[in-house]
Structure 1
Amino acid sequence: MAGRILIVDDLSLNRTVLRGKLMSACYHAITASGGRAALELARNEKPDLVLLDYHMPDMDGLAVCQALRADPVTRDIPVILFSATADHAHRLGALAAGADDFLAKPLDEAYLLGRIRSLLRSVAHRDEWRRHPNTALQAGLADPAGLFAPQPHLALLTGQPNTFAVWRSTVSAIWPEARLTAATVPDALRLDAQSQVPDLFILSPDALEHAGLHVIAELRSRAATRHAEICLILPPSDRANGAMALDLGAADVLTLPLDRAETRLRLEKVIAHKQLADAQRRTLERQLGLAAFDPLTGLHNRNHALMQLDRAITPDSDSFALLLIDLDHFKEINDRHGHNAGDDILQQVARRMQQDLRKSDILCRYGGEEFLLAMPNTDLATAREVAERLRARIGDAPFQLRNSDLRLRVTASIGVSVHRAPEHPLAGEMLNQLLEGSDRALLRAKHSGRNKVVTARATAVA
């Protein structure tokens, strides 16, 4: 569905002209002739964006914007305030009231549409999270932006290193608490460590003169910098480049001469948006982690390990070993010392086993007190050697329980099977046969006295 935009203006001609421009750009426009009507429409229609006149007889634009922000139903709808009066008080009042931007009449059509597109992209991204069936992924959207306390890292991009001092002085006065660094455009494009990437790049006019607007697209396309926000500083006459910059992915355009209070409000809005997006990504990563890892031991869980195993098997794999590791008499530990003690043992066993693995090995908690170790490109002799080393690492030293003087000795039985038939790809039913071979070998280790390594009788699946 095309973006729905609410136009609020007490003059019928202004509403008609704006509506025509938006419809020409394939937006769906709805209109209100005053502030109170606008609030009712916003609540009922939930538009994607509001274009709001500053001066109206029944309720001025500031009051409407504040009411929108105070209502949980409408507080996240982007608002662009506009007025024929564009002095400091009007601009600052609009941003302080919660508007996403303030534009002066007569409206520059290209810049207005660029700003609308930029804000609607943010709305679309936010709504993807809101519609997600996993409510944990929506958690970051529940808190008002005001709860963020930003101390951001800002990087000033200049055309020449010798111009940095001037811009540093300007930006330091605007946001003294911020961490400021300087870079030329080539320096920024060479960043590859996430820890070096700022929250926000601020492109100075001389940086744009040397590199052009395409630097915005370049920063957006690089893996290291694609999540950093971008603002640029332009003279007021350069609205065409401002519109293009917004379409390329800039978050805002700062107009010369920089007003300290207005610029600070604009930068705070950009940083608040960045922090919210970062929080959403972190939540997603945590949720993906929960889906892939066992929360107790930190190892891969069974399902994820088997998927990894599928990817690890390649046509040129000449051998592949599976070790099934089971802790002996583990039920007695839980029954005698409690499940907290059992959990402690499982965590320590996982840490001990991880010390002996290669990067290509796949270790997971297979279930209960069972672990599975998959070892690509491993022959039978090596697999047995590793299994004996793991058995010794688990059983030779007792485990010290947390918050207790108790030390428990735990042993492990291990079943080993190896695929050694490269002419038959290890997949599907053959992988199941290999797992069953390890399981049968493990049972034999249990039945023959435990604390042993036993190899599957058929070590080659053909």
Structure 2
Amino acid sequence: MSGTILIVDDLATNRIVLKVRLATTPYRVVQAGSAREGLRMAMAEPPDLVLASARLDGQSAAPFLRALRRDERLAHVPILLLQSTDSAAERLALLRAGADAVLTRPVPEPLLLARLRNLLRARNAEEELIGQTGGAPGFAESQAALALPGQVTLFAPDRAAALALRARFAETMPHRLSFLALDDPPPASQDLFVIRLGQAQAEAGLRLLADLKATPGTRHAPVLVLLDAAAAPLAVTLLDMGADDVLFAPVASEELCHRMGCLLARKRRVEALRAHLRSGLEAALRDPLTGAHNRRHALPWLERQIARSRAGLAVMVADLDFFKQVNDRHGHAAGDAVLVAVTERLRAHLRAGDLLARIGGEEFLIALPETTRAEAQEVAERLCHAIRATPVAVPGLRAPIPVTLSLGVTVAEPRPGMAPPAMQTLLEEADRALYAAKARGRDQARFCTRSAA
């Protein structure tokens, strides 16, 4: 089952007609005969979409909309309303009260179903991100940010039409607007695109929409199409190809501005969810104390480097000398400060493409792609010196804490006709070399006596 649609209409005949129209779809349909019943049903079991009459209980559906939106669980459930007569003023009032779209009866069945698919697709994409992040990040404090003006490009059939759009909308829109002809190359990125289309520009408009939705820099930017009434049948194709909203010209600038603002707010909500998800994924791969990568990131990374390596790959296991004494003498807070300082020094002496991971209490894994044995020796000695040279200052302690580092090193150098070494083999070789460095007095780097081939 693809979702639940709640139909709310005072007239039973209207509810029956809508249910019949949805009979061939995969949606589960439930019905309410009044605003109060619809609100009760929505709160008891939040639907995936609400399809309602623009007038309920003998009045505007605006109070019903506001009541739905006050419930946090229903705040972003898509709502599609159906007007009995085309009224721009009523439509704008309903949109401002919380409707996502308002259509005028009679609505062609293909357009109704395309609009439902469009709204459900947007909702499902947002819900999927919320599920992946374990819950939406708090937006209460960022509503002002969601409503900020955006960078908007308006495409018109030609330059003359673009100038006409500029004259009509530039003074009334809060957004930063740029105007282009349909055949002009689109900008690399933008907050929102508006495409003005007539029947004569159908092919060019569809091609532009497809390009915008396929290009990495623009595929997440919402697209609103302003369509001539004569080209109305094109709306179904546009919605199914990924247009986020379709309006029929002429449209009042207030309604256009409102719809643009809603699309921008949704885009920013989704961007915040994606950023939250990326942050969570990044946190799962990093050590929370030092910010270095952890074992979960390091071992798959090392496997990939071994498989693709075409030059030497140096692998080092580093361990702080006598670190237990630091914790015993100065406390674990001091030990944490030492680990953070050591990580920063190690990172400062590695390249951007090198690996630094904390894989144990005071143990680090370092890997250097495209590195010869001689280069690995030089880097290892530099790392030991960087840790040894300056004792670590710890807040609250009079004297800084001297710290040294022992390193075990092995280098995998590809040989024609031979398989690359196993990751475990390299790690064991680096470990043996580390034990040798410890046995020879610590504060030094030692190579494995037999580097991996």
Same fold (TM over 0.5): yes
Q: Is the 8 A contact 2:130 2:273 kept in 1?
A: no
Distance 1:180 1:58, change over 3 A: closer
Partner residue of 1:151? 149
Partner residue of 2:377? 384
> Does 1:254 find its partner at 2:208?
no
Amino acid paired to 2:323: F
1:442 match: secondary structure: helix
Distance 1:420 1:145, change over 3 A: closer
Unaligned runs of 5+ in 1: 192-196
> Does 1:140 find its partner at 2:137?
yes
Partner residue of 2:419? 425
Partner residue of 1:87? 87
Cα offsets for 1:328-358 (capped at 9, x unmatched): 2333444444444443433333333334434
2:257 match: secondary structure: helix
State the Cα distance separating 1:102 from its structure 2 match: 1.1
Partner residue of 2:447? 455
Q: Is the 8 A contact 2:306 2:423 kept in 1?
A: no
Residues 235-314 of structure 1: pairs in structure 2 closer than 5 A: 235-314=228-307
Partner residue of 1:175? 173
Residues 308-387 of structure 1: pairs in structure 2 closer than 5 A: 308-314=301-307, 317=310, 319-387=312-380
How far apart, in 1, do the equivalents of 2:360 and 2:309 lie?
30
Q: Is the 8 A contact 1:35 1:59 kept in 2?
A: no
Once the two structures are overlaid, the 10-residue window that deviates more, 89-98 or 446-455, is 446-455
How far apart, in 2, do the equivalents of 1:81 and 1:458 lie?
75
Partner residue of 1:214? 207
Cα offsets for 1:151-200 (capped at 9, x unmatched): 22212234445554432343333432x22234455655562xxxxx1111
1:435 match: secondary structure: helix
How far apart, in 1, do the equivalents of 2:37 and 2:57 lie?
12
Amino acid paired to 2:419: P
How far apart, in 1, do the equivalents of 2:81 and 2:142 lie?
19
How far apart, in 2, do the equivalents of 1:144 and 1:48 lie?
26
Partner residue of 1:54? 54
Cα offsets for 1:384-413 (capped at 9, x unmatched): 122112222232244455698854443211
Q: Is the 8 A contact 2:303 2:423 kept in 1?
A: no
2:55 match: secondary structure: coil
Q: Is the 8 A contact 1:159 1:209 kept in 2?
A: no
State the Cα distance separating 1:231 from its structure 2 match: 0.6
Partner residue of 1:233? 226
Amino acid paired to 1:230: V
How far apart, in 1, do the equivalents of 2:39 and 2:206 lie?
38
1:91 match: secondary structure: helix
How far apart, in 1, do the equivalents of 2:327 and 2:181 lie?
61
Distance 1:108 1:315, change over 3 A: closer
Distance 1:142 1:150, change over 3 A: closer
1:213 match: secondary structure: helix
> Does 1:396 find its partner at 2:389?
yes
1:293 match: secondary structure: coil
Q: Is the 8 A contact 1:413 1:452 kept in 2?
A: yes
Partner residue of 1:194? none
Q: Taking structure 2 as the reference length, what is the TM-score of the superposition? A: 0.89
State the Cα distance separating 1:221 from its structure 2 match: 1.2
Q: Is the 8 A contact 1:361 1:376 kept in 2?
A: yes
Cα offsets for 1:33-56 (capped at 9, x unmatched): 222222223233432212111223
State the Cα distance separating 1:305 from its structure 2 match: 0.9
Amino acid paired to 1:40: R
State the Cα distance separating 1:247 from its structure 2 match: 1.1
Distance 1:208 1:327, change over 3 A: farther
Q: Is the 8 A contact 1:6 1:31 kept in 2?
A: yes
How far apart, in 1, do the equivalents of 2:326 and 2:246 lie?
64
How far apart, in 2, do the equivalents of 1:9 and 1:141 lie?
34
Cα offsets for 1:245-304 (capped at 9, x unmatched): 111111112332231322222112111111111011001100110111223333221221
Amino acid paired to 2:314: A
Once the two structures are overlaid, the 10-residue window that deviates more, 340-349 or 29-38, is 340-349
Unaligned runs of 5+ in 2: none
Q: Taking structure 1 as the reference length, what is the TM-score of the superposition? A: 0.87
Once the two structures are overlaid, the 10-residue window that deviates more, 370-379 or 111-120, is 370-379
Once the two structures are overlaid, the 10-residue window that deviates more, 398-407 or 324-333, is 398-407
State the Cα distance separating 1:144 from its structure 2 match: 9.7
How far apart, in 1, do the equivalents of 2:12 and 2:227 lie?
33
How far apart, in 2, do the equivalents of 1:131 and 1:180 lie?
35
Once the two structures are overlaid, the 10-residue window that deviates more, 94-103 or 76-85, is 76-85
How far apart, in 1, do the equivalents of 2:117 and 2:282 lie?
34
State the Cα distance separating 1:67 from its structure 2 match: 1.8
1:23 match: secondary structure: coil
How far apart, in 2, do the equivalents of 1:16 and 1:247 lie?
26
How far apart, in 2, do the equivalents of 1:272 and 1:262 lie?
15
Q: CA RMSD in A?
A: 2.9
Amino acid paired to 1:320: L
Once the two structures are overlaid, the 10-residue window that deviates more, 398-407 or 303-312, is 398-407
Partner residue of 1:111? 111
State the Cα distance separating 1:68 from its structure 2 match: 1.5
State the Cα distance separating 1:100 from its structure 2 match: 0.6
Q: Is the 8 A contact 1:413 1:445 kept in 2?
A: yes
State the Cα distance separating 1:95 from its structure 2 match: 0.6
Alignment identity in percent? Answer: 36
Once the two structures are overlaid, the 10-residue window that deviates more, 97-106 or 18-27, is 18-27
- Report how many aligned residue pairs link the two structures: 450
